[in-house]
Structure 1
Amino acid sequence: MTDWFYADTTHARRGPVPATELLRLYQARQIDDRTLVWRDGLAEWVPLDAVRGEFASAASPAPAASEWTLEALAPAEANVEGAPAPGDAWRPVTESAHTTAVAPAGATASASPYAPPTAPVAGAAAVVRGGPVFYAGFWKRVAAYLIDGLVVGIIGMVIGGIALAVLGGILAVGGSGSAGSIGFVLVQVLSNLLSIAIGALYYAWFHASNMMATPGKMAVGIKVVRANGERISLLRGIGRYFSTILSALILMIGFLMIVFTERRQSLHDIICDTVVVDKWAFTDRPDLQHDGLGTVAIVVLAIFGALFGLGLVAIVAALLFASM
């Protein structure tokens, strides 16, 4: 008989219990379809609704289909006090003050053969596959890049200004002539290397974090993940950043590929096996995804579009004035 663990309304781990007991708790409405459960053989905690087919033989007679749907519960009973609201990102803890059994002195946490893996429980939200996935379009990604470019530019100016001021002071003490020319070249090289390093760390760290998105992407509601929905590693994030340079070097064709590829992948996405998706993709609430630009993206594009237009007008006016 398979033993199960489940998360109670306080997010504490309970179990092991047999399938019949889990079914009894469900029918008593002490747990529901959103309750996270785990058994030996599952890679991570999953909602009860995802594995309810395994309980068909646990009931005699088997429960009606309506008993397994959240809609069949009375509204007042479906929202049990202390239960998370639908869509809340939460995971059960592996240790809790609510645990009644106390391990004897000298016992280790791995003594129970039923202990589920701790990494998926304590880490980021689980990847939920099988639902629809909305891939981020070209203009939404442009809006995110504009925000991130502004943030990286400000960070680069502050850090670069300090570093170059220190280096410039050191070179100024060193003398003039050929030494000054060499110093100027060193300053330019350092400035370029510093700019690349800041960009690489910024994009790679945010994309590899639990948010899976830079501030710009978070603002417009998108994230970067592996093709299977998993979070990317820091090393892959660094590789993806340098791949964007390649996308730009070939006349920006690498970025324009977003418009023509099936999953709206750019060249650097294809190289690094990544996709840019809605922030609710690969979660337990895929219904919250939307394929439109969104308010933030529209506002950002409008502001930068207006600034770009004003810049063109200023350039044309300067050329006309110079030709007079």
Structure 2
Amino acid sequence: MEYKDYYKIMGVQRDASQDDIKRAYRKLARKYHPDVSKEADAEERFKELGEAYEVLKDPQKRQAYDQLGRDWKHGQQFRPPPDWASGFDFSGGGFTQADASQFSDFFESLFGGFRSDYSTHRGGFRARGEDLHARLRISLEEAYHGTTREVSLNLPADSDHGSRRQQQRTLKVRVPKGIKRGQRIRLAGEGGRGFGAGAPPGDLYLEVDFEPHHLFQCEGQDIFLNVPVAPWEAALGAEISVPTLGGEVDMKVPPGSQSGHKLRLKKRGLPGNLAGDQIVTLRIETPPAVTKAAREAYQHLAEAVPFNPRERLATSK
């Protein structure tokens, strides 16, 4: 049995990233797909590509293959040692026995018995379409309440002849309540078209990002807000109205609060199994002394409350 160098088949280096491998497969699969290719060896090359990609796209299979094959060259006689796959878990994917005829004896000896996304079907070829990825920007209010909206996206699309172009598509997207930045929304079947008659399409994954907000900032499920307070509210304490994504709430400002003091409104962040909080940072704002009465009030305050905010800056003797 001959050893197969899957990296050579894919035309990538052994340290290629997963994105590099995906791009290489996408390019070569379009080139050698038997339905569109005029290459004499298109059928055989397409089979090899499917087999190589089956291994290299899967981190577990790739790690095991790398460990096994670092000292082998393409075409050399090969036999895997007993228990070579000990310590690896290939249960996340493989191929069914009905589809096994597409892959080589080399693949069978390593990964036989698992299901694959690639199959032969009555003499034709079928390959699941690629998964597509895009970014979806939503408001914090939409993340808080959840929503359903139509979005227009420019997504790659393959023609019947294998060429690729950008195509604008309008899709209805349900945004779940409490979704966080960086989470993905899966739209099943909205990815790239499959190869071959009856082949299933891939999925579309939308990574969520938040639009800038004029009041709030978000980290994880927590919401942050700066709230201005008057000097007497900070000094004497007060109950003030504070905006949240769920509406205004009353919040107590403790007496003696300083600028930068943080207060927590529990479960007023993004909802979820463990709802986030809203963190309120107090900012003391000084009223301008633009009238005679205001200047006299400040003068009386200075005489009644001796206070030197720079006392801690004095050099110790």
TM-score category, normalised to shorter length = under 0.3
Q: Which has the higher contact order (CA 8 A, sep 6+)?
A: 1
Higher share of residues assigned helix: 1
Scaled by the length of structure 1, the TM-score of the pair is 0.25
Structure whose alpha-carbon radius of gyration is higher: 2
